[in-house]
Amino acid sequence: MRIVVDRDKCEGLGMCEAMAHEFFELDDDDTMTVLDETPDEAHRSAVHAAVEACPVLALSLVE
């Protein structure tokens, strides 16, 4: 599984970080960085919750 970010949509709202801070990090400028683009299966539910939580649908998971 791989995390894909649509940078045109991301507004740095931080819901993804709140749901899975091991994988998403916002800096002081509200720029979001994906810390690990290829999470292992053990983290699927947390990453999926973060993807679902993004209010502007900027995140997706590719298998």
Q: Which of 16, 20, 23, 39 binds ligand SF4 (CB under 6 A)?
A: 16
Tell me how far apart the alpha carbons of residues 44 and 56 are, in angstroms, rounded to a whole number: 20
Q: Does 56 bind ligand SF4 (CB under 6 A)?
A: yes
Closer CB to ligand SF4, 15 or 47, in the complex: 15
Q: Does 20 bind ligand SF4 (CB under 6 A)?
A: no
Residue 5: φ, ψ to 5°? -115, 130
Burial 11-24 (b: 16+ CB within 10 A, else e): eebbbbbebbeebb
Give contact residues for ligand SF4 (rule: CB under 6 A): 5, 10-16, 24, 32, 54, 56, 58-59
